[in-house]
A and B are shown apart, each in its own frame.
Chain A
């Protein structure tokens, strides 16, 4: 049972455009929703995260939008740059284990920013 569904699998955006990646979750006990960025040959790195008590969080060009009623959250990358080309994972924590059972990840989105 996949608890966090991520789309699209791959995404091509022109330089300067807006990249949008969507995730949906099923477990209403989740209370922490981070996004991770992964470059080839590297481990994932925390990009930005949100709690369900806010609807939006912005850090530089990266914004998380959160819709608690729809159980959906999305990552928006404004003014996308070639250096943003990477794989992005959404994740959620706080299920039945209260967080001890780790992060539940989406399957990832391979983002390519064309110059």
Chain B
């Protein structure tokens, strides 16, 4: 039972480069989301999905794209990396977006943009 798997664990990008952060879950969870964690800022929601084919923006969506073609995968794309996107990124999933379903987080991707 792998839970939520994020790859890569670490990444260094140059300003202007693009990349995709991968997230996969094997729990058949309906809901998936991406958060970024910055010192003193807590976790802020970037994008979320309530099911395959359905995505929406969170609190800080600018500079990021997502898609959800399968229940299992929810990749996060950085279109043109900027130093302000240096952060730790967490993917989380939940059985349902309603009610009190707990979130399962991945172990994170630490991204540095130089």
Q: Which of B33, B100, B104, B106 contacts A32 (CB 8 A)?
A: B100
Of residues 19 through 61 on chain B, the ones whose CB sits less than 8 Å from some CB of chain A are: 31, 33, 35, 40-45, 48, 50, 56, 58
Q: Is B74 an interface residue (CB 8 A)?
A: no
Q: Mark A75-110, 1 if CB is under 8 A from B, else 0.
A: 000000000000001000000001111111111100
- Residues of chain A contacted by B103 (CB below 8 angstroms): 34, 44, 46, 103
List residues of B whose CB falls within 8 A of some A CB: 4, 31, 33, 35, 40-45, 48, 50, 56, 58, 90, 92, 97-100, 102-108
Given the interface pairs A46-B102, A99-B98, A100-B97, the reply to whether A41 lies near B90 with Cβ below 8 Å is no
Residue of A41, A45, A46, A99 with most chain B CB atoms under a 10 A cut-off: A99
The count of chain A contact residues (Cβ–Cβ below 8 Å) is: 25
Residue of B nearest to A51 (CB): B100
Q: Is A43 an interface residue (CB 8 A)?
A: yes
A68 to chain B, nearest CB (A): 16
B87 to chain A, nearest CB (A): 14
- Residues of chain A contacted by B97 (CB below 8 angstroms): 98-100
Residue of B nearest to A34 (CB): B102
Interface residue SS majority, chain B: strand
Q: Which of A9, A36, A43, A102 contacts B106 (CB 8 A)?
A: A43
List residues of A whose CB falls within 8 A of some B CB: 6, 9, 32, 34, 36, 41-46, 49, 51, 89, 98-108
In the complex, A10→B33 CA distance in Å? 27
Q: Tell whether, in the assembled complex, residue A101 and residue B58 are in contact, meaning their CB atoms are under 8 Å apart.
A: yes
In the complex, A18→B79 CA distance in Å? 46
In the complex, A46→B4 CA distance in Å? 14
Q: Tell whether, in the assembled complex, residue A108 and residue B45 are in contact, meaning their CB atoms are under 8 Å apart.
A: no
Q: Tell whether, in the assembled complex, residue A89 and residue B42 are in contact, meaning their CB atoms are under 8 Å apart.
A: yes
In the complex, A63→B114 CA distance in Å? 43
Q: Tell whether, in the assembled complex, residue B42 and residue A43 are in contact, meaning their CB atoms are under 8 Å apart.
A: no
Residue of B90, B98, B103, B107 with most chain A CB atoms under a 10 A cut-off: B103
